[in-house]
Structures are given as structure tokens and as C-alpha cells.
Amino acid sequence: MRKITKQILSYAALASLSLVTAGVGAQSPPQRASDMVQTAGGDLKITPINHATLMLELGGKVIYVDPVSAGDYTGLPQADLLLITDIHPDHMDRAMIDKLKKAGTIVLAPAAVQKTITEAQTISNGEKKTVAGIEIEAVAMYNLTRGPGPGQLFHDKGRGNGYVLNLGGKRLYLSGDTECTPEMKALKNIDIAFLCMNLPYTMTPGEAAGCAKEFRPKIVYPNHFRGSDPQEFADALKGTPDVEVRIRKWY
């Protein structure tokens, strides 16, 4: 228990580095850039918010991934679906989840998250579900070698989830906090990927680029990169056929 407490405290300190009072509502939104990707179901709107947090909009449905209070949500809509990847506070934030929920909002998360976010529906590594009309597969996310001490890992296999979503016929991969696992390398037909990269918790930009070369997403966004240089990731992928790197403002 002491080991787990120390890890959670360390993540709380990390999450607080850019803490901003969050607000959801009808105020004028700040200047934030969103990308549009054409799908068979219409334009998919991708909005980076902060660190691992992003918003996806398609066909009137609003999905948030790992919403935490470090982001600015001014003027953004409430959620139809909330996806949570892990228990650390830069991914799981009770207060922000409550602000984004409305009647009928579904929270989907691993079982470890449900211990705190008790209303969450659960999905396990390798499991597939259709939630809010969206096909979702949970992908293992975990450390291979990195941890806070000998014999310890920051992210144990089976505790957290990455996700593959089918949105308008496009396959989106959300890595969660992970190193370059066999499960990531084995992904197929990924149209858009969001890859974490920061030490000591996940991967270096070079390691993330090496993994991207294995499963070849058509578009890849580096995120969760506080303290790392996403341009290093982009440079490592230069010359890789059919992989477009999109560096956006997350901080």
C-alpha cells in the first residue's frame, strides 16, 4: 500500500504542474485549434486539450479521453462518452468527470478505475464492446521495464487500458500510458493514433517512433509528452512511408 501511495502522489505532483481552473459551459471558447478528418460518418473533429486529454466529436456525439482539471474546457460541450485509461490523477479526475457528465453520459474504464469512479462501465484488455453506438476495443497498456524501484512498474499489465475506436469507419488508437508493447506492435489498420512519450513513466520519443514504424498509423499525434520533445518523435519518423506526424499544442 505504501508503494502505491507513493506512486499516486508522484503522479499528483506531475498533474499539478499545469493545473488550471476548468469550466464547461457557454462562455466564449479560447483560441484552440481542432483538426477535421473526413470519415464515412461525416467530419471527425479532434481537439487536443491537455497532456493526455482530448475531445472527439462525430455525428453529434462528444467523446472525452482522460479529462482532467489541468485543461481549459471553456465553451466545450458536455460528454456523451468518457473514456478513462488509468487510475493516476493525470488520467482519472473525479471532479472533471462530474463537470462533463450530463444525463445519459457513459463512463467506460478499466476495473481499477471503477473502484473510484463507481458508475463506470468496465472493459478489460482484449475485450470489445459497443458503447454509445461506438465500437471500442481495450488494448493492454503497461510498462515493460520502467518503474519507481527494483521489481516495480509504473503501470502493471492489466490495470489500465489503451483503446481502439471505430469512428465513421476510421480506426483510432489511444495508447494510454505504456511502453512499446507487443500488443501495440501488433495493431492493424490504424488510421489515427495518439502516442504517449515521457520519461520516466512511458517511452522516449525515439522509442515511440520505433513502435509507430511497426504498426504504421496513417496519422499519429504525439501527446502526453511533458518534458519530452515531440519534434524528436517527428524527426525519427521522417521518410517512413504513409505516416503523417501531427504536432499540436497540448500545453
How far apart are alpha carbons 25 and 73 in whole angstroms? 8
Q: Mind listing the pLDDT tens digit for each residue in 86-98?
A: 999 999 999 999 9
Q: Mind listing the pLDDT tens digit for each residue in 139-168?
A: 999 999 999 999 999 999 999 999 999 999
Strand order in the sheet with 244-245: 128-131, 134-141, 160-167, 170-174, 192-196, 219-223, 244-245
How far apart are alpha carbons 135 and 130 in whole angstroms? 4
Sorted by sequence, the CB contacts under 8 Å of residue 169 that are 6+ apart come out as 39, 40, 41
User: What pLDDT was estimated at residue 24?
Assistant: 60
User: What pLDDT was estimated at residue 31?
Assistant: 66
Buried-state track 71-80, b at ≥16 Cβ within 10 A, e below 16 = bbbbebbbbb
How far apart are alpha carbons 137 and 184 in whole angstroms? 13
**Domain ranges in the chain?**
2-20+35-244
Q: pTM (2 decimals)?
A: 0.89
Reply yes or no on domain 2-20+35-244 having CATH 3.60.15.10. yes
User: What pLDDT was estimated at residue 30?
Assistant: 57
